[in-house]
Chain A
Amino acid sequence: MSSSTDHGRPDPDATVALAPDGRSVSDRGDTVCVIGAGASGLAALKNLREHGFGVDCYERETGVGGAWNWRHDRSPVYASTHLISSRPFTQFPDFPMPDDWPDYPHHGQLLSYFERYADHFDLRSHIWFGTEVIRVEPVAGDRWDVTTRSTGGYGPERTSRYAAVVIANGHNWSPKLPAYEGLEQFRGEIMHASSYKDATQVRGKRVLVVGGGNTGCDIAVEAAQQASQCWHSTRRGYWYTPKYLLGRPADQVNDGLLAWRVPLAVRRWLHRLVLRLTVGDLTRFGLPRPDHKVYETHPIVNSQLVHYVGHGRIAPVPDVARFHGSAVELTDGQQIEPELVVFATGYLPRFEFLDPSLLGDDGAQGQPRLWLNAFAPGHPTLAVVGLVQSDSGLFPLSHWQAVLFARLLRQRVERPERAAAFAAQVTAGAGQRYAGRVVSSSRHVFEVGHTEYLRAVQRALDELEAA
């Protein structure tokens, strides 16, 4: 078994082939390669093994858990992070979180959950820690050459040939930083939320938080408690869903309605009604009126933002127009003078080891064209797991993507005609969306409604396995 300090690549006795350019390639036969040992990579590893496949998983960090290990240099998680999706929607469907955990566990609990998952299913012995994938190239026979080296660029490069590849490198680590006029002249401190770790970074300062996603709202709430002053800039109004509605976690209430197939319009109306009866009209506090209907942006689940706006500890302000030497000019002409600006403007997916056109992302915009957000036309042995932004928990979706891919690989051997039908479906369905109407914003490209999405996966699985 490899320990977390083991570096390198498995299996010395693999047969050696030659790449077209003469590099030596060790042939890993039917083994599948998984890139990343975050939640999605672990789910892929476990489910592929459960379906009988050998797996080599490469992880650039020295431990599992990806984003949820907040010590990882690319982790977007900060000290106070708690889940926004409640436990039943967040846990893997076949490995429940402990039932004495809170409805919305802390990030430290999530990390321990993934570590326990890895130990329980004996996954670590298949993971090559401290090893970064730097190139993934298709070769004849739908196989893949994967080139790795030690994280940080030390040591030699090694190339191995795999029967299939699962990309599970996460999409919440590469900051999306908007360009602003005058930003270079600004003398205050600026940071992207990805470098925000804990409240000491805002304590006693005048802070401007830009962005109204869950990150922006969390950081604004923290600044409300710790900073000397907090402005929260959003370019539109949002629906702030509290963590609890009608005495239960909000997502459980919503799924209760979904299970009864209550139509969207009625759910919207109910949602608005509950908000009106509790927090009331938010424009009263100076928050902009939402420019979209409920469920048309990725849900914000935060009970405290409105609370602190009501206490006057958060001043809602409009979008940033430009920066000056010591001031920030807002679109309503107002000028404010923050000492620190935190851009919580989200993340962009990045596949730096892969020709973007393989995923149908021809302009390299970070917007792959896949079916079920996972399968690339023309590449039946490639899958991306975890490239979804769910209106609910992500991990069950990653799990089922992994199961679907494992069964597809099995059918390629046992029932090739089924696998071929699947491939045709991938080509026909690439780019399909699994959410109702959403506001046009880069962050919504991967937005899926979990029910709609899982229903589509269920259909795919049923067709793949149909007698």
Chain B
Amino acid sequence: MSARTGRVRILRGREWARPVRPARRELVSALPELEEGRPPLLFVPGFGHGAWAFAEHWLGHTAGRGFPAYAVSLRGHGGSAPAPEATLRAYVHDVTQAAASLPRQAVLVGHGAGALVVAHALARYPARAAVLVAPVLGGWGTLGAALRHNPAGTVPAVFGGPLRLTRRQLFSPDLPDPQARQYVARLGRAGRRAQWQLLAHRAPEPAVGAPPVLVLGSPDDRVVPPAALTRAARRYGSAPLLFPGMGHDLMLDARWPEPIDAILDWLAKA
């Protein structure tokens, strides 16, 4: 799927008439010591996660390799303003706002449901490139996988309660237990409406500017089944890059340097 095949939508009267209300946004960054003209990366965490999830390892590592690195917290997450009634549209707004505020055209990197937010944002902001990490692109398949691996944490979400992710879904056994528990304890929750929209939402509109898109994940991810990874990658005309043995949270798991190095290598070539 690229800008060249989908139909561009010009008229958005309803959106213009009802702009998304601004909400305080947390944007954390790590900048390279030397500005080398590389494109900035904007990391978008998935539901329940905040910018902290990238601040832990990936931001510093990215900056260390010469790329300006930023992470945003979607409203209601991390250090952004509380937003229990947030919608998917509001999250997309947060991402396009953060992207447009950067000094140069950005690469959008979305993790989990953050990848869905990025997929929508690509239709509203001409990203230089996009990376979908363990993408949760929604639909009923997502629910099926979640129910299979974590029925107790998932069922309440169906009724508007919080989605509770478990250590086993998010991390490989390689991550020391106290560390994993600490991460799980930091998880918040997405807005109720956004959670439902994850299941039933319109397919993302075509990306503007036809950016190259990389999909990566782990075949051992207990949130995103391998078939979903392949499907996501096929949508963007490629195959997923796989990191066996890792959990859903590739940016926090024990072997976190591998995927981010692969992303930066790909960018350097793209």
Q: Residues of A with Cβ closer than 8 Å to B? A: 50, 87-89, 93-96, 98-100, 119-122, 251-253, 255-256, 258-259, 400, 403, 451, 454-455, 457-458, 461-462, 465
Contacts and interface: CB of A to CB of B under 8 A. Distances in A.
Interface in B25-45: none
B7 A462 contact: yes
A258 B17 CA distance: 9
Contact of A256 (B8, B17, B22, B101): B17
Contacts of A461: 8, 10
B17 A95 contact: no
B152 interface: no
Nearest to B4: A465
B208 interface: yes
- Name, among A94, A258, A400, the residue most crowded by chain B CB atoms within 10 Å (CB to CB): A94
Contact of B125 (A95, A119, A253): A95
Given A94-B125, A98-B97, A120 B19 contact: no
B102 interface: yes
B65 interface: no
Contacts of B11: 451, 454-455, 458
B105 A120 contact: yes
Contacts of A120: 100, 102-105
Given A50-B126, A455-B11, A99 B20 contact: yes
Contacts of B18: 252, 256
Contacts of A50: 126, 208-209
A455 B20 CA distance: 23
B202 interface: no
A89 B125 CA distance: 16
B181 to A, nearest CB: 37
A120 B39 CA distance: 10
A88 B101 CA distance: 16
A457 B13 contact: no
Given A88-B16, A253-B17, A458-B10, A98 B101 contact: yes
Given A94-B209, A99-B20, 18 more contacts: A50-B126, A50-B208, A88-B15, A88-B16, A88-B17, A94-B125, A95-B125, A96-B97, A96-B124, A119-B104, A120-B105, A121-B105, A253-B17, A255-B16, A256-B13, A451-B13, A454-B10, A457-B10
B16 A403 contact: no
A451 B7 CA distance: 18
Nearest to A101: B22
Contact of A400 (B10, B13, B15, B126): B10
Q: How large is the interface on B (under 10, 10 to 19, 20 to 34, 35 or more residues)?
A: 20 to 34
- Name, among A50, A99, A120, A455, the residue most crowded by chain B CB atoms within 10 Å (CB to CB): A99
B97 A122 contact: no
A114 to B, nearest CB: 13
Contact of B14 (A95, A96, A98, A259): A259
A461 B8 CA distance: 8
A94 B12 CA distance: 13
Contacts of A96: 93, 96-97, 100, 124-125
Interface in B100-143: 100-105, 124-126
A94 B8 contact: no
A88 B19 contact: yes
13 contacts: A50-B126, A88-B16, A88-B19, A93-B12, A95-B100, A95-B125, A96-B96, A120-B105, A256-B13, A258-B13, A259-B13, A259-B14, A458-B8
Interface of B is mostly: loop
A93 B20 CA distance: 14
Interface of B: 7-20, 22, 93, 96-97, 100-105, 124-126, 208-209
Given A119-B103, A120-B105, A93 B17 contact: no
A256 B15 CA distance: 9
Given A400-B10, A457-B10, A461-B8, A100 B102 contact: no
Contacts of A98: 97, 100-101
Contacts of B93: 96, 99
Contacts of A121: 105, 126
A259 B17 CA distance: 8
A403 B206 CA distance: 15
B17 A252 contact: yes
Contacts of B13: 255-256, 258-259, 451
Contacts of B97: 96, 98-99
B22 A99 contact: yes
A252 B19 CA distance: 9
A255 B102 CA distance: 30
A354 to B, nearest CB: 28
A443 to B, nearest CB: 25
Nearest to B126: A94
Contact of B124 (A88, A94, A455, A457): A94
Which 6 pairs between the two chains have the least Cβ-Cβ distance?
A259-B13, A256-B17, A99-B22, A88-B16, A255-B17, A259-B14
A88 B14 CA distance: 11
A100 B10 contact: no
- Name, among A89, A120, A122, A451, the residue most crowded by chain B CB atoms within 10 Å (CB to CB): A120
A384 B170 CA distance: 54
- Name, among B16, B96, B97, B102, the residue most crowded by chain A CB atoms within 10 Å (CB to CB): B16
A457 B10 CA distance: 8
Nearest to A255: B17
A211 to B, nearest CB: 29
